[in-house]
Homo-oligomer: A and B are copies of this chain.
Amino acid sequence: MYTGTVTSAETFQRARRPEQKLRRQDAILDAARDLALRDGVRNVSLADIASRVGIHKSALLRYFETREQIFLELTAAAWREWVQALHGALDQAERGRADLVADVVARSFGDRPLLCDLIAHTPLNLERNVSAEAVRRYKLTSLGAVKQAAALVQRVLPALTAEEGLEFVGALASLAGAVWQIANPGPVLAELYASDPELSHACVDLVPRLRRTAEILLAGLIPSRDPT
């Protein structure tokens, strides 16, 4: 058992005690989160993360399998935090308020740029370069969050079935990932949107677009089973 005093110089020596190991993992996740928020998930490499934490790449791989596993852990954490925020916004919501549900769900993604960026990267990259155990754990977390969110929506809108709640939340989550990427273009395209009259109308604003699609989906789901 390691009993020496941890000095500043030793901070990123190999962590031997479980609590040291957890602290090290958190430091790595924090570094990846900061870099992804600043530069976009696509631009953050394992070397960038290691350099920000102040350790060598090979040391980092004692804590995580791959770059993708680091981001998959961040995605799981973001889903858990997202569903907690939905609880806060929907637990006391008045029944039948589809407009409120559409607004809350749209803003739940608009307030979380990292979650949106990660949603697009998840099936494309993150789920493909990790072990079966890591991807299974991630899927159970993300599916659980979507299911909990669907139940919250269904409590506000009891005309929806459980399946319809899942369809609604699933479609909005996929769109949040895709539309966020369109709403956050690179510098070359951003400049074209700002200067080119033929393209300016194509620039998308995330929350209004998600809110509008959410309203259409709920309008399509609710009257289909309750015709007037």
The residues of A with any CB-CB pair to B shorter than 8 Å are: 42, 120-121, 123-125, 127-128, 130-132, 135-136, 139-140, 143, 167, 171, 174-175, 177-179, 181-182, 185-186, 188-189, 191-192, 196, 198-199, 202, 212-213, 215-221, 223-224, 227-228
Q: Considering the complex, give the chain B residue whose CB is closest to the CB of A41.
A: B124
Contact of A123 among B167, B182, B198, B212 (CB under 8 A): B182
- Give the residue among A198, A216, A224, A228 with the most B Cβ atoms within 10 A: A216
Given A171-B175, A220-B215, A223-B223, are A128 and B228 also a contact pair (CB < 8 Å)?
no
Cβ–Cβ < 8 Å partners of A167 in chain B? 212-213, 216
Bound Cα distance from A219 to B127, whole angstroms: 34
Bound Cα distance from A123 to B186, whole angstroms: 9
Bound Cα distance from A203 to B218, whole angstroms: 24
Bound Cα distance from A101 to B65, whole angstroms: 45
Bound Cα distance from A78 to B210, whole angstroms: 26
B217 contacts A216, C-beta separation under 8 Å: yes
Bound Cα distance from A182 to B125, whole angstroms: 11
A189 contacts B125, C-beta separation under 8 Å: no
Q: Considering the complex, give the chain B residue whose CB is closest to the CB of A212.
A: B167
Cβ–Cβ < 8 Å partners of A131 in chain B? 188
Question: Nearest Cβ in chain B — how far from A145, in angstroms?
Answer: 12
Question: Nearest Cβ in chain B — how far from A88, in angstroms?
Answer: 26
Question: Nearest Cβ in chain B — how far from A187, in angstroms?
Answer: 9
Cβ–Cβ < 8 Å partners of A135 in chain B? 188-189, 192
Question: Nearest Cβ in chain B — how far from A178, in angstroms?
Answer: 4
Q: Could you list 18 further interchain pairs (A-B, Cβ under 8 angstroms) beyond the known A171-B213, A174-B178?
A: A42-B124, A120-B178, A123-B178, A132-B188, A136-B199, A139-B192, A139-B199, A143-B199, A143-B202, A167-B213, A171-B175, A178-B178, A218-B220, A219-B219, A219-B220, A219-B223, A219-B224, A223-B223
Cβ–Cβ < 8 Å partners of A215 in chain B? 220
Bound Cα distance from A179 to B220, whole angstroms: 20
| Closest 3 pairs (CB-CB, A-B) | A220-B220, A219-B220, A128-B186
B124 contacts A181, C-beta separation under 8 Å: yes
Bound Cα distance from A11 to B83, whole angstroms: 59
